[in-house]
């Protein structure tokens, strides 16, 4: 956004949504120093989530008690080393605003479109 973009799709926002919203607001208001400070704090988690995405995001959300870290092939769960790195990165953000099961919105079931046949096909 500092280079002219309008937003992003952020895996980190699933972990610390308030910080990501503050970063976005700082950038929109031209408060670059504050935005850079927030971005620096979030960068380690962003790098870990990007490295083995989406398994790393599922691991982080599971550490926060929001989901189970299950994956389906061809994705595989994180190895123990990667899990511990994600855990340390999440712990470093504990003074931020990690999302918690108490504040999370309930999941809404969605039909798996991959199993419903071709578009326009009625079940």
Domain boundaries, the chain: 12-98
Task: Identify the CA nearest to 48 among candidates 19, 72, 73, 84.
Answer: 84
Which distant-in-sequence residues (6+ apart) come within 8 Å of 101 by Cβ? 64, 65, 66
Burial of 77: CB neighbours in 10 Å, binned 0-12, 13-18, 19+ = middle
pTM as predicted: 0.69
Asked if 15 and 86 touch (Cβ cutoff 8 Å), the reply is: no
Mean pLDDT, residues 13-26 taken together: 89
Residue 78 to residues 3, 54, 58: CA-CA distances in angstroms? 33, 10, 9
> pLDDT by residue (tens digit) across 56-111?
999 888 888 888 877 788 888 889 999 899 888 888 877 665 555 454 444 444 44
């Amino acid at each position: 956004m500092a280079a002219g973009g309008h937003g992003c799709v952020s895996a980190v926002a699933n972990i610390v949504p308030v910080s990501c919203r503050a970063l976005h607001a700082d950038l929109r208001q031209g408060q670059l120093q504050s935005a850079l400070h927030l971005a620096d704090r979030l960068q380690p988690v962003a790098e870990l989530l990007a490295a083995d995405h989406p398994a790393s995001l599922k691991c982080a959300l599971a550490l926060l008690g929001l989901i189970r870290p299950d994956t389906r092939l061809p994705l595989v769960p994180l190895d123990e080393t990667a899990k511990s790195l994600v855990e340390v990165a999440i712990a470093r953000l504990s003074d931020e605003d990690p999302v918690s099961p108490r504040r999370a919105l309930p999941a809404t079931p969605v039909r798996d479109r991959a199993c419903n046949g071709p578009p326009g096909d009625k079940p």
